[in-house]
């Protein structure tokens, strides 16, 4: 029995010979290497303030992704998906083919065209949670866990979650440990090595 215990300690307990440490998976968060010049990122890459946009650090490779945003302070803001070609200093987004976003006025824009709109009585307010699903075709929105039934599509290529702020808006991003259960079949964003 002592030999078995010694083997366990030698093989895996103390990182001895033959031990290969597990690589810790990166955390999905806002990417300070892909943000506008007047953007401020705080709270371990989860909160955005200032003026401009920021991409998350993980593309949406999996079939069905879910993520959330909490409106901490109102102002001008937008949330959705974008390619890395998006202009991160431009507010509002949705003016070209590189972004598909919900704007603070309830409109969903892509390529300078309104693709859909939240119901009039469902505009996100301070403290609200906006959930986003994306399945490589359609972006859908949820307000405090309830589907808004306003799909939008049109963006092509590899996309990342994006958020922009201006006029004192503060937005928190939630890429795991969600406030609301993701819709069936959707899950948190996975890094490519986690998918395979």
pLDDT, one tens digit for every residue, the chain (196 residues): 454 444 444 444 455 566 555 567 789 999 999 999 999 999 999 999 999 999 999 999 999 999 999 999 999 999 999 999 999 999 999 999 999 999 999 999 999 999 999 998 999 999 999 999 999 999 999 999 999 999 999 999 999 999 999 999 999 999 999 999 999 999 999 987 654 4
- Structure tokens given for 66: 């879910």
Could you give the C-alpha distances from 59 to 39, 91, 145, in angstroms and in order? 20, 22, 23
Q: Is residue 180 part of a domain?
A: no
Count how many domains the chain has.
1
* pLDDT at site 25: 73
CATH code of the domain in which 124 resides: 2.60.120.920
Structural domain containing residue 79:
30-174
* pLDDT at site 191: 85
The H or E element that residue 193 is part of is helix 192-195
Q: Is residue 189 part of a domain?
A: no
* pLDDT at site 26: 84
* pLDDT at site 192: 74
Q: Is residue 130 part of a domain?
A: yes
* pLDDT at site 147: 97
Could you give the C-alpha distances from 23 to 58, 144, 151, 188, 189, in angstroms and in order? 17, 35, 38, 20, 18
Query: What is the value of pTM for the model shown?
Result: 0.87
Q: Is residue 108 part of a domain?
A: yes
Q: Is residue 14 part of a domain?
A: no
Q: Is residue 66 part of a domain?
A: yes
Half-sphere exposure of 11 (CA within 13 A, CB side): 6
Contacts of 23 (CB under 8 A, 6+ apart): none
pLDDT digits (tens, 9 = 90+) for 68-112: 999 999 999 999 999 999 999 999 999 999 999 999 999 999 999
My answer on whether omega of the bond before 83 falls inside 30° of 0, hence cis, is no
Question: In the chain, what is the straight-line distance between the N-terminal and C-terminal CA atoms, in Å?
Answer: 38
* pLDDT at site 6: 45
Q: Is residue 3 part of a domain?
A: no
Q: Is residue 72 part of a domain?
A: yes
Strands 30-35 and 99-103: unpaired
């Amino acid at each position: 029995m002592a030999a078995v215990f010694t083997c366990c300690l030698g093989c895996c307990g103390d990182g001895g010979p033959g031990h290969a440490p597990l690589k810790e998976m990166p955390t999905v968060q806002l990417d300070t290497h892909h943000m506008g010049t007047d953007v401020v990122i705080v709270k371990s890459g989860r909160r955005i303030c200032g003026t401009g946009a920021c991409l998350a650090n993980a593309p949406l490779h999996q079939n069905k992704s879910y993520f959330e945003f909490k409106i901490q302070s109102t102002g001008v803001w937008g949330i959705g998906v974008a390619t890395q070609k998006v202009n991160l200093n431009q507010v509002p987004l949705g003016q070209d083919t590189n972004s598909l976003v919900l704007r603070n006025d309830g409109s969903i824009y892509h390529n300078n065209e309104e693709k859909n709109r939240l119901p009039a009585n469902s505009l996100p307010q301070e403290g609200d949670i906006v959930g986003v699903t994306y399945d490589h075709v359609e972006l859908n929105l949820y307000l405090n866990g309830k589907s808004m039934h306003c799909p939008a599509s049109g963006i092509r290529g590899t996309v990342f979650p994006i958020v922009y702020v201006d006029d004192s808006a503060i937005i928190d991003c939630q890429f795991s440990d969600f406030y609301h259960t993701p819709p069936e079949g959707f899950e948190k964003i996975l890094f490519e090595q986690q998918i395979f």
